[in-house]
């Protein structure tokens, strides 16, 4: 068996009569907390083992409901804890998943498709799909970071493609701007076949869609924190959440950090209780300052700085509250994916009807009056 020829077993599909039946009920994964103490213990364990040949000291953080073949903390989100000791670096790697990386200790730099990203504690940067990258710890402390990817979703689809030690920068051949490249200009047009906008597109355009360059972007914590401080001044009557999305313009209307995930960073003043809401996208929070509680589908979970939590399984009613100090948290949701697939139901106020975000009008907050 190789990547060209595979000896498949004969498959025999069957019919399953569902006449008159509805769809089965969803079975959401339970909220789950990985404590700071557990994370610290795993950091020390990873730091104690010899450096692997590929340089990646990493542990998956896996929900007990996860399929062994698609390990994730949420059904479509794979999360790894990564450690590099001073002076160490990883070997180049690429895959067709996108990544959000969040440094929780130390510092270092990443080389992503030839661009150098110097990062410190609480910085965030993304890695686009299928670009070579490697990381180095050029500091004096352990470098520890969390990596969020859609690899588990691709593994479920059996299409997660990886490559060790890829070429770092591919050569781009020169091209005469005056020459007409038949690969760029298809003689076959896309045309309407009716009056309602339905169209036909030829194969020549299917296999050569418009290119949208997906960039690597860096959100330094010192710049983000300065903007968050302005949100802290909103009054107690403000009904929205005090956060900023780390926005990547390439995601357009789907409001993402990558085409699959958004990353938001929230500042939560002391003794703030959010309004209950729910959404189809699942949510994972890493709390790096303060303490508080989350109420999810009627169950209360307490957390503190350094804890990681699957805080909102899809469509579970939830809200969060801070205790006696300011809370900072990074939240990862697969909102862009659910918008792109026209699946993102969102209910901002339980007294109002849900909206299909991206396809219907969304919600307003009272920010102008609260400010």
Report the pLDDT value the prediction gives residue 144, as an integer from 0 to 100.
98
Q: Which of 2-16, 83-97, 99-113, 295-309 has the lowest mean pLDDT?
A: 2-16
Say if residue 360's pLDDT is above 90.
no
Domains of the chain in start order, with CATH, are: 32-164 (2.60.120.10), 220-361 (2.60.120.10)
pTM of the model: 0.92
User: Which residue, among 132, 125, 47, has the nearest Cα to 88 in the 3D structure?
Assistant: 47
Average the pLDDT over 331-358 and give the result: 95
The label of the residue with tokens 């339970």 reads 30
Tens of pLDDT, residue by residue over 119-157, are 999 999 999 999 999 999 999 999 999 999 999 999 999
pLDDT at 98 over 70: yes
Mean model confidence pLDDT for the chain: 92
Contact 326, 231 (CB under 8 A): no
């Amino acid at each position: 068996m190789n990547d060209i020829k595979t000896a498949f077993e004969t498959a025999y599909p069957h019919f399953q009569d569902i006449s008159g039946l509805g769809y089965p009920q969803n079975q959401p994964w339970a909220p789950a907390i990985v404590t700071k103490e557990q994370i610290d213990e795993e950091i020390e364990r990873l730091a104690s083992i010899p450096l692997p040949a590929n340089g990646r000291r990493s542990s998956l953080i896996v929900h007990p409901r996860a399929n062994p073949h698609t390990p994730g903390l949420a059904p479509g989100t794979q999360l790894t804890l990564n450690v590099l000791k001073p002076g160490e670096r990883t070997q180049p790697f690429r895959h067709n998943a996108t990544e959000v990386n969040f440094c929780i200790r130390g510092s270092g730099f990443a080389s992503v498709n030839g661009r150098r990203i110097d990062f410190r504690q609480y910085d965030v940067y993304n890695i686009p799909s299928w670009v070579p990258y490697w990381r180095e710890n050029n500091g004096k402390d352990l470098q520890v970071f969390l990596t969020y990817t859609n690899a588990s979703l691709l593994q479920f689809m059996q299409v997660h493609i990886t490559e060790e030690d890829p070429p770092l920068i591919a050569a781009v051949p020169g091209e005469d701007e005056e020459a007409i490249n038949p690969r760029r200009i298809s003689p076959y047009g896309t045309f309407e076949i009716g009056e309602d906008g339905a169209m036909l597109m030829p194969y020549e355009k299917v296999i050569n869609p418009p290119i949208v360059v997906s960039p690597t972007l860096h959100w330094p914590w010192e710049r983000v924190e300065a903007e968050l401080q302005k949100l802290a001044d909103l009054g107690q009557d403000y009904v929205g959440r005090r956060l900023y999305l780390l926005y990547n313009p390439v995601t357009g209307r789907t409001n993402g950090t990558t085409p699959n995930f958004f990353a938001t960073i929230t500042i939560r003043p002391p003794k703030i209780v959010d309004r209950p809401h729910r959404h189809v996208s699942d949510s994972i929070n890493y709390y790096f300052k303060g303490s508080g509680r989350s109420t999810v589908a009627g169950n209360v979970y307490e957390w503190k700085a350094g804890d990681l939590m699957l805080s909102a399984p899809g469509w579970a009613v939830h809200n969060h509250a801070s205790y006696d100090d300011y809370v900072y948290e990074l939240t990862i949701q697969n909102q862009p994916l659910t918008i792109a697939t026209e699946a993102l139901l969102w209910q901002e106020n339980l007294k109002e009807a849900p909206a299909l975000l991206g396809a219907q009008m969304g919600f307003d907050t009272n920010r102008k009056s609260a400010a």
